[in-house]
Structure 1
């Protein structure tokens, strides 16, 4: 676990999901921040998440690789879902993304030659935003999965400017931009270990 101090009296800790109740808390935070559940101005100002998961899907993903969470005591402050490539059939709406990833390259090599997982979604609870939780979640990704995977890949709607800025800040590199029927997307990659097969 990597502690990060929000204020002198409020330590936030990051860790991997260990209990079903934590998956349920992830779903509650996800629902509150879905693109269809936030106002357009809030989406611009605070960001949003796009895909809605079910508890069954999260449990199946968790069985392959537990997701990362940030907690303030027992309260969920944020999450960053781990979605190994083996989980691609769990969320059919994401299949076009996985097909695209098979064609892309990173650092001069086809992405498929790397050991990677998709960072399935990241969300920080409103009251914890701007306090370092997002960065701490990705530090935990590196600490927990750097020995197992070369990198993690995700895509962010380019109009989700808050999320784009945050991902760039923690070290994600854009490798592709494309448009589908719903939005324009940036495909971005984060190396999880020093010199990940450069």
Structure 2
């Protein structure tokens, strides 16, 4: 149950349905605050672009997708408009004293665990699967978290992510850029 695997193209619609149900605009405020939320909505085209370069870690119980953690190569992140701000920001950031431009890194596009499956270690399994799949190719993984998403912040810190930058976007939303440094594991 809830075993890690990778997304097949025939499963994209199921992933998009899970994403849709967890977007902040579709959740009650109390649920978003206690369970976390997704901010960005990726399209089928975006997911296919991500899949072109990297396998996409998911967990499944039977045929049901119970979680996902989208891997986004540097090339794909340049092609996906909603990632442009993070891509530009990271060029000038450092991780543990090393400029990201001197490291091999990729981006986490989004992570989500299905309601009813949270608190079962799926989040950690998804990130461990990332490390298994990509640690031989990359030094670290970078993503951003809404500062309002306290559950996500805590979960990422538990796995080993550290905050390397914070900023407010054009809409005044505060973000944390976090990275998981695999060179120190």
TM-score band by shorter chain is over 0.9
| Greater shift in the superposed pair: 125-134 or 22-31 | 22-31
What's the offset of the Cα at 1:182?
A: 4.4
Taking structure 1 as the reference length, what is the TM-score of the superposition?
A: 0.89
Deviations 1:89-142 (A, max 9, x none): 332132121111001000111111111110000000011001100000001001
Distance in 2, matches of 1:21 and 1:140, equals 21
> Structure 1: which 4+ aligned runs deviate by more than 3 Å?
none
Distance in 1, matches of 2:168 and 2:59, equals 32
Over the aligned positions, Cα root-mean-square deviation in angstroms equals 1.2
| Candidates 67, 72, 75, aligned match of 2:64 | 75
Unpaired stretches in structure 2, ≥5 consecutive residues: none
Unpaired stretches in structure 1, ≥5 consecutive residues: 1-10
Report the secondary structure of 1:147's partner residue.
coil
Aligned length: 184
Deviations 1:124-162 (A, max 9, x none): 001100110000000100111111111110000111000
Q: Give the aligned partner of residue 8 of structure 1.
A: none
Distance in 2, matches of 1:79 and 1:31, equals 13
Distance in 2, matches of 1:129 and 1:107, equals 31
| Greater shift in the superposed pair: 82-91 or 71-80 | 82-91
What's the offset of the Cα at 1:57?
A: 1.3
Report the secondary structure of 1:134's partner residue.
helix
Distance in 2, matches of 1:188 and 1:176, equals 7
Q: Does residue 31 of structure 2 align to residue 38 of structure 1? A: no
Distance in 1, matches of 2:78 and 2:96, equals 27
Q: Give the aligned partner of residue 105 of structure 1.
A: 94
